[in-house]
Structure 1
């Protein structure tokens, strides 16, 4: 069954891709829309091939590159004047990076270094494309949870405290940058303060 499934997925995908391009050519030859579903259809034989060969690491790399090519194609065809692909390609490469790193990806040093690279890259994009607004705080807020969780995963109290601090800093900055006349950040900050309080009273205080 495994030997027959891989060639079947390849032939079926190629047949479907050919059908889509024929329909594209017959209906709207001026707009090449068939390339988008065609690129995504390639994931089927790739998944089948690497699944049976236990090549999850290489599948993650090839799949990430294929996704980047899909987004790059869409970018160059639809909005060639603005290269938004620069915002998307690095997060997609983190998937194969973690797969190839293996157990090292769970180490605090790896998480910190990878997060620093991520944040520094988006700082550069922010300064180059849109220096008027520091939107980098949004992807930085998301990626910083990685080293935070890896470092303090076995220390729930410290994790809750540093997590609360990160959330408070994030919402306060968003409040200050977007609507400084309305102080709304106190509401999510107040809500997240219950996190370390609950850890203290229902975990540490109970066992004390």
Structure 2
């Protein structure tokens, strides 16, 4: 990448940010909304600068902190009565965590421990803010795919069976918690069962 692209990205970003603040001041001076797109625009020169210096790890850290600042500002300005930033800040920090971990991020032990920490955090939020409904099962379902993929992705048959089991447990729980009088979980469960069946018949059975 040419070094001239760095000052160009900085100048173009600064010019755009100044333009946004002028528009903000002329149209709605009572509401400072230009700060939100301005911070996102800063990702352009930051990306160019760190890419030129092969500093992806530090870029991930700075970018995550900027995103957290943006979300925190929006939270405190628009809905200060409810701190929803608590749901987003920790997953954003996992980006630099994985970047600094490097190859260790692909280690099953690292994936399991990091996933457990994130799941426990959401369980704590669930119990503290909204104990009436166990919504932590939704982020838990998503998070569990990380250690599952890292550990079993190279064994497609076992991975498909465990993945189907995870999906089945998830939909059964959602069905029971949200609409126990209507048994609708059988439909997505029936669909996901084709995953291990396809692996067996089109890969293992063919090579047998």
Structure 1 match to 2:97: 97
Structure 2 match to 1:50: 50
Structure 2 match to 1:200: 200
Q: CA RMSD in A?
A: 1.2
Give the match's secondary structure for 1:154: coil
Distance (Å, rounded) in 2 between the aligned partners of 1:177 and 1:193: 22
Structure 2 match to 1:170: 170
Structure 2 match to 1:130: 130
Structure 1 match to 2:69: 69
Of the structure 1 ranges 4-13 and 112-121, higher mean CA displacement relative to structure 2 is found in 4-13
What do residues 118-167 of structure 1 show as CA deviations (whole Å, max 9, x unaligned)?
A: 10000001001111011111110001011001111111111111101100
1:109 aligns with 2:109: yes
Give the match's secondary structure for 1:3: coil
Give the match's secondary structure for 2:29: coil
Distance (Å, rounded) in 2 between the aligned partners of 1:16 and 1:188: 47
Distance (Å, rounded) in 2 between the aligned partners of 1:197 and 1:13: 52
Distance (Å, rounded) in 2 between the aligned partners of 1:48 and 1:150: 30
Structure 1 match to 2:3: 3
Structure 2 match to 1:29: 29
Of the structure 1 ranges 66-75 and 197-206, higher mean CA displacement relative to structure 2 is found in 197-206
Distance (Å, rounded) in 2 between the aligned partners of 1:85 and 1:2: 38
Distance (Å, rounded) in 1 between the aligned partners of 2:111 and 2:46: 29
Structure 2 match to 1:185: 185
Count residues in correspondence.
208
Structure 2 match to 1:16: 16
Of the structure 1 ranges 54-63 and 18-27, higher mean CA displacement relative to structure 2 is found in 18-27
State the shift of 1:22 in Å. Answer: 2.0
TM-score normalized by structure 2? 0.96
- Aligned ranges 1:130-169 → 2 under 5 Å: 130-169=130-169
Distance (Å, rounded) in 1 between the aligned partners of 2:207 and 2:99: 38
Distance (Å, rounded) in 2 between the aligned partners of 1:120 and 1:193: 29
Unaligned runs of 5+ in 1: none
State the shift of 1:54 in Å. Answer: 0.8
